[in-house]
């Protein structure tokens, strides 16, 4: 009977072998990629092509100039795009992908540094490449044991290692500039880009009657209010839940003031925080909003979880 877990077992075994036998020249290759003045040209054919496309995309996502070159397209005119300042990162688990030979030979002739990820460095491709990054010899997953599966996974893992090493060179702010849109771009954007600010903020004074507070909370439609003193410093917050608890405690809140109902330790964020910080804070404390304040703890805006998740989805 077929056991689907056998595929996962094969993958786990392959990754464990990869972990045990990190290539000795890995850091040399990382240094070479880091010093590349041109582009990291990822090269592949067949199933490996998809892996190299993903690696190239990851390089681009962290600001490393990269593109994918299909070996067939390469030998039909696209070799002219290769420059001596480039570095080629090729993948062939078997080391025998004949389609890669003309491209790596061209690179050798033009003195373009090339790195080959392979499990068989003594095959012809390994002899043409400038250097090889050794992959572990593994068994493919599946009944036939020949469909590229685990070999693709370990090649992808090695590519992720290279990308991760380059990722150490950039900041989160710089990474966000490469992802201005979509869920990831939104989560990495500054809170100041999304927060509700100015007259749209629900702010009340310490001595504001709760009848007035309820009107402001209803008008602003955020289910909350920030309570500030005469200097404008945020001293507390009032949520819908606080109102209900106050009603249960006092019976009526018509004679209460904001300072009687507010939570005195509001959760706040600095203006240099990102949306992901706000999401984590709200999730951890199970709250629906958080105020953004300046260095004097004066409110600059408010982030609401409903608007945040709406943008992410």
Q: What is the pLDDT of residues 236-263, one digit of tens each?
A: 999 999 999 999 988 888 889 999 999 9
CATH number for position 237: 3.10.580.10
With beta carbons less than 8 A apart as the criterion, state whether 65 and 89 touch: no
Q: Do 70 and 217 share a domain, yes or no?
A: no
Residue 181's alpha-carbon distances to 160, 178, 232, 272, 276, in angstroms, are: 23, 9, 34, 19, 14
Residue 193 lies in a domain: yes
The pLDDT of 80-87, averaged and rounded, is 92
Residue 179 pLDDT > 60, yes or no? no
Residue 179 lies in a domain: no
Domain count, the chain: 2
Residue 123 lies in a domain: yes
Q: Do 197 and 294 share a domain, yes or no?
A: yes
What stretch of H or E contains 248? helix 240-250
Residue 181 lies in a domain: no
Residue 230, domain extent: 187-312
Partners of residue 239 on adjacent β-strands? 224
Residue 296 lies in a domain: yes
Residue 221 lies in a domain: yes
The pLDDT of 121-139, averaged and rounded, is 94
pLDDT tens column, 182-204: 566 667 778 888 888 999 999 99
Q: Do 140 and 228 share a domain, yes or no?
A: no
Is pTM, for the whole model, over 0.75? no
Q: Do 121 and 204 share a domain, yes or no?
A: no
Q: Do 62 and 138 share a domain, yes or no?
A: yes
Q: Do 148 and 213 share a domain, yes or no?
A: no
């Amino acid at each position: 009977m077929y056991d689907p877990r056998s595929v996962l077992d094969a993958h786990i075994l392959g990754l464990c072998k990869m972990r045990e036998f990190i290539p000795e020249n890995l850091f040399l290759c990382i240094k070479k990629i880091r010093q590349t003045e041109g582009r990291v040209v990822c090269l592949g054919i067949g199933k490996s092509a998809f892996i190299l496309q993903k690696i190239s995309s990851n390089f681009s996502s962290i600001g490393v100039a990269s593109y994918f070159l299909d070996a067939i397209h390469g030998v039909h005119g696209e070799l002219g795009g290769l420059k001596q300042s480039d570095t080629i990162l090729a993948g062939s688990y078997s080391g025998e992908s004949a389609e890669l030979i003309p491209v790596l030979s061209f690179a050798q002739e033009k003195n373009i540094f090339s790195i080959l990820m392979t499990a068989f460095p003594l095959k012809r491709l390994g002899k043409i490449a400038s250097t090889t990054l050794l992959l572990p010899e593994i068994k493919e997953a599946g009944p036939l044991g020949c469909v590229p599966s685990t070999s693709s996974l370990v090649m992808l893992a090695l590519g992720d290692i290279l990308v991760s090493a380059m990722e150490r060179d950039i900041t989160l702010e710089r990474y966000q500039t490469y992802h201005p849109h979509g869920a990831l771009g939104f989560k990495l954007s500054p809170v100041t880009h999304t927060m509700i600010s100015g007259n749209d903020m629900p702010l009340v004074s310490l001595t504001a009657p709760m009848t007035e507070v309820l009107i402001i909370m209803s008008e602003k439609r955020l289910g909350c209010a920030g309570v500030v003193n005469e200097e404008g410093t945020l001293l507390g917050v009032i949520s819908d839940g606080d109102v209900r608890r106050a009603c249960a405690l006092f019976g009526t809140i018509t004679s209460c003031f904001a300072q009687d109902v507010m939570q005195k330790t509001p959760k706040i964020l600095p203006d240099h925080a990102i949306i992901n910080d706000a999401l984590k804070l709200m999730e951890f404390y199970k709250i629906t909003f958080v105020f953004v304040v300046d260095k004097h703890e004066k409110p600059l805006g408010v982030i609401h979880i409903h608007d945040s998740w709406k943008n992410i989805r």
